[in-house]
Amino acid sequence: MAVENIFAEILGRVRRAVEALGVAGALPVGLDLSRITVEPPRDAAHGDMATNAAMVLAKDAGRKPRELADAIAEELRADDLIDGVEIAGPGFINLTLKPAAWLDALRTAVRSGTRYGASDVGHDIPVNVEYVSANPTGPLHVGHGRGAVFGDALANLLAFAGFKVTREYYINDAGAQVDVLARSAYLRYREALGQDIGAIPEGLYPGDYLKPVGELIAKTFGETLKNSPELEGLAVVRTIALENMMIAIRNDLAALGISQDRFFYERTLIFQEELGANSIDRVARTIDWLRERGFVYQGRLPPPKGAPIEDWEDREQTLFRSTQFGDDVDRPLMKSDGSYTYFASDIAYHADKIGRGFRTLIDVWGADHGGYIKRMRAAVRALSDAKVELDVKLIQLVKLLRAGEPVKMSKRAGDFVTLREVVDEVGRDAVRFMMLYRKNDAPLDFDLAKVIEQSRDNPVFYVQYGHARGQSVFRNAREVFRDLPRDIAELADEAELGRLSDPAELSLMRRIAMYPRVVEAAAQAHEPHRIAFYLYDLASEFHALWTLGNAAPHLRFIIQDDRQMTAARLVLVKGVVTVLASGLALLGVKAPDEMR
RNA sequence: GCGCUCGUAGCUCAGCUGGAUAGAGCACCAGACUUCGAAUCUGGGGGUCGGGAGUUCGAAUCUCUCCGAGCGCGCCA
């Protein structure tokens, strides 16, 4: 028998037990079983698993929880995986599994390799994860990096859980900021031609990173753009500057091991270059679509209270009826000059995503965009008849420290520390793991000195070291037993896992068995940090077992005169190594064979 | 004024979508290296889960209300 997820398996058995009682007439039929959970109890003394079935069903069944628990327990006692059943507290049913169940879970883990924990709970549902989406006006900073790592890990996680994932980047190339970029690059172009441009004027981007762009333009066009009409020249400059910014951004992302499937240009919503001037404005089309359904109207908004707006003009404008979909006020779609607001093109963009068949949309945003969530969710509801769900994950700020002291801003890059500087200094693994070792909505202190420290205080190191230690056991074991297979996983069948009976060993097996459940929960909650914390706990338990061997030689992994015992232990270590490798892969962090 | 995200040990944070006596790391105290790399491990003290009320078998978790922090608040993106 191969059970992939032991918790899901037992949950299924508990449900069947309840159904059996229903059939037998001991319970009403058709009870809602969805609230039943099976989870490891906090206190191991309560057994391997606990279910709340009796407490959850008591009311609907019209029975007392303890009484109902007795009935369910009686059914479960006959189960071939279950060794003991006890009822405790207000009606918990505590289950102790037969050791074979855990041995089986370990075998499954080892045999499945890095696919262990993968599942099909996503049912191939198409999910779009949009992340980074930084304005292409300069290098990425550390905050962007956190969103990038989060989005990437979440996408990995969802794919692992059986969702069909598209990783996407939305490029705001239609707004005023890109025009500022173009003017800034044009200045650098004149500089490259040898003109004295003086100080960069207020409002333009001062960063040195535009110098190479200016030089590139000068090299490509010579002096021809210098005297061309401004609009025409700027259009050319803008395209080149934009493309070069995007190349730089993609390089920064690549340094973190991130590549996205699709780069969506905002301008393609409005201009279809290949179709010529008569192309359809998809923003207008989307707004019309909403207007036909009564979600868009002409009206007035009250001025916001609190911060008074000096030039407030009470005027009639085009509004989206977002209050009908859970927002606090209706939102404007057009500026006073008649052009569309950013929100309007965002609606069109999300309409495009919906049109591409995604059932779940996940947007990863910086925390300063929090005030935008309600209207965007409202828009997605309106566009999809509430069939598509938008989950917005807000990424909190990153505070850069070095040994506890705030890091000074880099002058070279403008006014921020670039992502690339940080990755170059501490490495991809440290950046990725630390950024995932925190909930997305909690602020993050990122200490450049701490993350390269080799100690328990540095979770990146601690987890990677766990993997390396496991590999080192295999290396040492081969010195003793020359005939070990190249892949320790091949020992899974022959090894007498029943000899692994120390509480620490069994506990480690339980931890390994928990992994598929953690993956599933993390994927459904859109919370990759759970993987990072789980890995830390797993590594911790492994380190502890390792050290037990110091004082108790019979617990060492390698027993010189007992090949069978060694084989069993190696399979256990292989289980640990397998899960660490699998989890680290989800986080996009390397699982090293040795630390250096 | 309104909205969003938060408030858990001295510090930094978890807490498995409502479960049992709230957990780690750091710091502090006391221990374990003729080892399978001690780059680690073991034990200890330390909490009115911001305050209060409610929902129910059961609340750090859900609701309400105060207090406090950060972010945001028609044409910026």
The pLDDT of residue A410: 52
A156 within a domain of the structure (yes/no): no
Domain boundary among A59, A75, A97: A97
Shortest CA–C1' contact from A592: which nucleotide? B39
Q: Fill in the DSSP letter of residue A336.
A: T
| Residues whose CB is less than 8 angstroms from the CB of residue A195 and which lie 6 or more positions away in sequence, other chains included | none
* CATH number where A54 lies: 3.30.1360.70
Nucleotides of B under 7 A from a protein CB: 1-6, 12-17, 19-27, 32, 35-42, 57-58, 70-77
* CATH number where A544 lies: 1.10.730.10
The pLDDT of residue A118: 95
Same domain, A72 and A187: no
Give the closest residue to B21 (Cα–C1′).
A43
A480 within a domain of the structure (yes/no): yes
A107 within a domain of the structure (yes/no): no
A51 within a domain of the structure (yes/no): yes
- Give the per-residue SS3 of A430-455: HHHHHHHCCCCCCCEEEECCHHHCCC
The pLDDT of residue A532: 96
Q: How far is the CA of A185 from the C1' of B5 (A)?
A: 37
Give the closest residue to B73 (Cα–C1′).
A304
Same domain, A86 and A208: no
The pLDDT of residue A474: 95
Domain boundary among A66, A97, A128: A97
Range of the domain at A234: 176-254
Q: How far is the CA of A303 from the C1' of B1 (A)?
A: 12
A288 within a domain of the structure (yes/no): no
The pLDDT of residue A1: 46
Shortest CA–C1' contact from A46: which nucleotide? B20
Q: How far is the CA of A308 from the C1' of B65 (A)?
A: 28
Strand runs (DSSP E) across A355-406, as ranges?
360-366, 389-395, 398-402, 405-406
Which parts of chain A register pLDDT below 50?
Answer: 1, 274, 411-413
Same domain, A72 and A185: no
Shortest CA–C1' contact from A39: which nucleotide? B16
The pLDDT of residue A411: 47
User: Which position has the token pair 């919906």?
Assistant: A354
Q: How far is the CA of A121 from the C1' of B42 (A)?
A: 41
A478 within a domain of the structure (yes/no): yes
Question: How many domains is chain A partitioned into structurally?
Answer: 3
CA dist list (Å): A9 to A124, A162, A275, A487, A506: 21, 18, 56, 28, 19
Give the span between the Cα atoms of A508 and A545, in whole angstroms. 8
Q: Using a CB cutoff of 8 Å and minimum separation of 24, what contacts does A473-479 make?
A: A473/A557, A473/A558, A473/A570, A473/A573, A474/A570, A474/A573, A474/A574, A476/A558, A477/A557, A477/A558, A477/A566, A477/A570
Q: How far is the CA of A26 from the C1' of B56 (A)?
A: 25
Quick check: A589 and A433 in contact, CB under 8 A? yes
Give the span between the Cα atoms of A302 and A389, in whole angstroms. 30
Same domain, A182 and A93: no
CA R_g for chain A: 29
Distance of CA A483 to the CA centre of its chain: 42
A575 within a domain of the structure (yes/no): yes
The pLDDT of residue A229: 66
Domain boundary among A42, A68, A97: A97
Q: How far is the CA of A548 from the C1' of B43 (A)?
A: 14
Q: How far is the CA of A241 from the C1' of B15 (A)?
A: 47
Give the closest residue to B33 (Cα–C1′).
A550
Neighbours of A396 (CB within 10 A): 18
A293 within a domain of the structure (yes/no): no
Shortest CA–C1' contact from A137: which nucleotide? B77
Same domain, A462 and A582: yes
Same domain, A61 and A183: no
Burial class of A302 by CB neighbour count within 10 A (0 to 12, 13 to 18, 19+): exposed
